[in-house]
Structure 1
């Protein structure tokens, strides 16, 4: 392994292993390592790894940098938004036990924190809220909030529960917004810190203009008792989220390269 590749590998390992770096604000991250320096190191390392194929390396570097090194969604001021979208994160196993395939999981503390964030936003802008059910439960029980549409899991005739993915939630919200008097409008997206960027991207992929709210801090503390193993620890979740981002990216790139199949 060349010195360049060792340097890049060390930088990648440090970035993935150090929550402080990944959780830093963009300006702080730039102080630790300039974006230009990172891009150049990645390009050099990947070109060498691909046997001198700089063309392919140049195409891959911005994609890898976006998926692995950028965890901050684009933001907009609160006055820009027409509605709020809130995506859940994690849960807790059913308190009373029973068949987890047919008994709803408990919303859990992270979703309560997300509901608290929605409440802070709603105290400043009076717009409709579309919240994944785990969050909507707290918006009702804790805040008695009006004008909230809960996006529920799908329950089959035999009682089997299918929980919606992030994209599944976005698809449901789009159907609601198509019926809004003023049209779809612009979404204020609330999500867990490390999920937030993908929440915004997924909302946009469903043809809804979307941003994170500027000046609003979202929850970022993991629940080690979550019923979803990948949402218990940051290192595990980031891998999970990168896989999800890459899966969507793969589909888009293939469609762009070969629109006719």
Structure 2
């Protein structure tokens, strides 16, 4: 086996050993054993990337980003008692039940967003705080739980009825516009989405964490109206693409702020 194949196989073995990072449904701090595995993976990836690029200096800059985006799916966490408000991000949807032009008829919230609403209800039993939830989740908080102090983050509807659904960043921007950035946000999101939800919330100036010990929904909806949210393998690629897009812009801005 040549050295490139050796390092690829070794990295794959280390990644397999850390698969709980990809399957853990509960937001919690990682144990020391995971940190040791990450250090081992870092060494393997740095060596393999340095050889592939023939450029150790560039490999040292790029590798941490590849490792974070590709192998770290844990958001930073805080105890529920530290949370001052909840920010909840939707995941997937269902085609309009009565049909019609999907550009002008709201999609149905779907079962994943109902599960996210259930998660919020469980958190509210621990601490009664205001909720800012994307509309797909807010509908269930209102209809299923009759929950008070819920602000629904709605899509943008143009004068001609055309609907523009908000991105994760668009939802975070609306929360800031509505309440500002004071206090600590407890972020609720789908298991494989929640890390990016926390990052996006922080990028908008909020102090954000996932609530520690809270299990985030992780079952995919094969009937979702968003194809990339139907299967885990497709969604992980989508989420990594989104993380890299944000990183790319930050890196370019940092390198050339006046460009």
Q: Secondary structure at the match of 1:222?
A: coil
Q: Which runs of no fewer than 5 residues in structure 1 stay unpaired?
A: none
Q: Secondary structure at the match of 1:34?
A: helix
Q: Secondary structure at the match of 1:62?
A: helix
Q: Secondary structure at the match of 2:126?
A: coil
Distance across 2 between alignment mates of 1:146 and 1:97: 31
Q: Which runs of no fewer than 5 residues in structure 2 stay unpaired?
A: none
Shift of 1:123: 1.1
Q: 1:42 corresponds to which residue?
A: 45
Quick check: 1:223–1:233 contact (8 Å CA) kept in 2? yes
Distance across 2 between alignment mates of 1:250 and 1:63: 10
**Does the C-alpha gap of structure 1 residues 99 and 213 become closer, same or farther in structure 2, counting only changes over 3 Å?**
same
**Structure 1 residues 112-160: Cα deviation after superposition (integer angstroms, max 9, x where no partner):** 0000000011111111100000000000000000000000000011111
Distance across 2 between alignment mates of 1:197 and 1:255: 23
Q: Which runs of at least 4 in structure 1 moved beyond 3 Å after TM superposition?
A: 4-7, 9-16, 18-21, 24-29
Shift of 1:30: 2.7
Q: Which residue, out of 123, 141, 144, partners 2:143?
A: 141
Quick check: 2:15–2:41 contact (8 Å CA) kept in 1? no
Give the alignment of 1:47-58 within 5 angstroms: 47-51=50-54, 53-58=55-60
Report how many aligned residue pairs link the two structures: 254
Q: What TM-score, normalized by structure 1, do the two folds share?
A: 0.91
Shift of 1:10: 6.6
Q: 2:179 corresponds to which residue?
A: 177
Q: 1:88 corresponds to which residue?
A: 90
Shift of 1:79: 1.5
**Does the C-alpha gap of structure 1 residues 243 and 157 become closer, same or farther in structure 2, counting only changes over 3 Å?**
same
**Structure 1 residues 63-120: Cα deviation after superposition (integer angstroms, max 9, x where no partner):** 1100000000000011211110000000000111111111100000000000000001
Distance across 2 between alignment mates of 1:160 and 1:6: 54
**Structure 1 residues 169-201: Cα deviation after superposition (integer angstroms, max 9, x where no partner):** 0000001112xxxx6211000000000000000
Distance across 1 between alignment mates of 2:39 and 2:21: 17
Quick check: 2:93–2:225 contact (8 Å CA) kept in 1? yes
Give the alignment of 1:120-139 within 5 angstroms: 120-139=122-141
Quick check: 1:5–1:45 contact (8 Å CA) kept in 2? no
**RMSD across aligned positions (CA):** 2.2
Distance across 2 between alignment mates of 1:9 and 1:158: 55
